[in-house]
């Protein structure tokens, strides 16, 4: 029977703060925010609820000393959760006020609930960023891959790819030309492989690869940079011309172009860090 251990560390306080902030964010807006049943509102609720649930799991495992009994790498899982939660809460902190506060004409009680949720979403983002900063590997420190810069970049790459998927699918903007279909293939392939690396590291399954993990990272890093470089060039070439309608559709295309270039920079940084990183498994 595991003993309850209350760890007294900065990480504990950041996690407790994030737990409280995300709980308040989705509880307040659910009780009095009167959000419409649509995708963006559901997305924000999901961001806060998912982050709260994963943080609660991490806290319970550490308090009851169950790290050795869980079927994941505890040097990789908590920081992976915190990284995704930071990005999710950041996106909710941007999307929610833009869509449900700006120009809102609801009665004051509803608006107050939404303001409170926005404030606590921002606070949760800061708390998760603080946790990531404390958990990130220091030079010469022996730790898991996800705590290194390349590991954190993998989280950012997959998150940016998810945002790209949202913009290219609503409305569908990739199926009218072979070039844009190639770009979609690039987004999907790189997302799947980056997510596979995250899952392998968190699940301690890197030893099942047919080649050494470091070699796999190097090969994939080079291919991902080349593929995203092609998508960065091809997407705007085949999407923007005089016939491209203005308005929200064109704005979506521009956003995808910017996010593609952003992910290219993330993959380049990942490749540079991976080339310099000497990974030592704890």
Per-residue pLDDT at 242: 56
pLDDT at 222: 94
The pLDDT assigned to 103 comes to 65
Other CB atoms within a 10 A radius of the CB of residue 251 amount to 11
pLDDT number for residue 116: 93
In angstroms, rounded to a whole number, what is the distance separating the alpha carbons of residues 16 and 191?
31
Answer whether 202's CB lies under 8 Å from 72's CB: yes
Q: Which of 158, 154, 160, 159 lies closest to 201 in space, CA to CA?
A: 154
Average the pLDDT over each of 9-18, 27-36, 93-102 and give the range with the smallest value. 27-36
Q: Which of 5-9, 72-76, 151-155, 267-271 has the lowest mean pLDDT?
A: 5-9
Lowest mean pLDDT among 87-96, 154-163, 167-176: 167-176
Per-chain mean pLDDT for the chain? 87
Let me know if domain 149-281 sits in CATH 1.20.1630: no
> How do residues 191-203 score in pLDDT, each as one tens digit?
999 999 999 999 9
| Residue 153 Cα distances to 8, 192, 221, angstroms | 29, 15, 12
> Within 10 A of 226 (CB to CB), how many other CB atoms are there?
12
Dump pLDDT digits (tens) for 55-85: 999 999 998 888 888 889 999 999 999 999 9
Three-state secondary structure call for residue 211: coil
3-state class of 172 per DSSP? Answer: strand
Neighbours of 192 (CB within 10 A): 12
Q: Start-end ranges of CATH 1.20.120 in the chain?
A: 149-281
CA separation for the pair 131, 86 (Å, rounded): 9
In this structure, of 16-20, 171-175, 176-180, 262-266, the range with the lowest mean pLDDT score is 171-175
Helix axes 77-100, 10-32, angle to 10 degrees: 30
DSSP single-letter state for residue 4 = P
């Amino acid at each position: 029977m595991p003993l309850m251990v209350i760890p007294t560390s900065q990480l504990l306080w950041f996690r407790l703060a994030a737990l409280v902030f995300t709980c308040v964010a989705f509880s307040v807006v659910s009780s009095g925010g009167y959000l419409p049943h649509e995708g963006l509102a559901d997305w924000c609720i999901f961001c806060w609820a998912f982050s709260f649930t994963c943080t609660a799991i991490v806290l319970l495992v550490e308090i009851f000393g169950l790290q050795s009994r869980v079927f994941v790498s505890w040097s990789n899982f908590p920081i992976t959760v915190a990284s995704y939660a930071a990005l999710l809460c950041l996106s909710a902190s941007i999307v929610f006020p833009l869509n449900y506060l700006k120009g809102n004409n609801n009665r004051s009680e509803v608006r107050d609930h939404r303001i409170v949720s926005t404030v606590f979403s921002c606070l949760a983002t800061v708390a998760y960023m603080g946790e990531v900063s404390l958990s990130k590997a220091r030079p010469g420190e022996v730790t898991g891959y996800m705590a290194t810069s390349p590991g954190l970049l993998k989280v950012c790459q997959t998150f940016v790819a998810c945002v790209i998927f949202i913009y290219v699918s609503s409305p569908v903007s990739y199926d009218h030309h072979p070039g844009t279909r190639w770009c979609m293939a690039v987004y999907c392939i790189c997302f799947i492989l980056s997510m596979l690396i995250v899952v392998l590291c968190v699940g301690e399954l890197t030893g099942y690869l047919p080649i050494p993990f470091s070699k796999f990272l190097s090969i994939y890093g080079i291919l991902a940079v080349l593929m995203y470089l092609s998508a960065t060039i091809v997407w705007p070439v085949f999407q923007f011309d005089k016939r491209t309608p203005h308005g929200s559709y064109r704005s979506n295309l521009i956003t995808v172009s910017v996010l593609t270039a952003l992910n290219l920079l993330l993959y380049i940084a990942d490749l540079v860090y991976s080339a310099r990183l000497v990974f030592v498994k704890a």
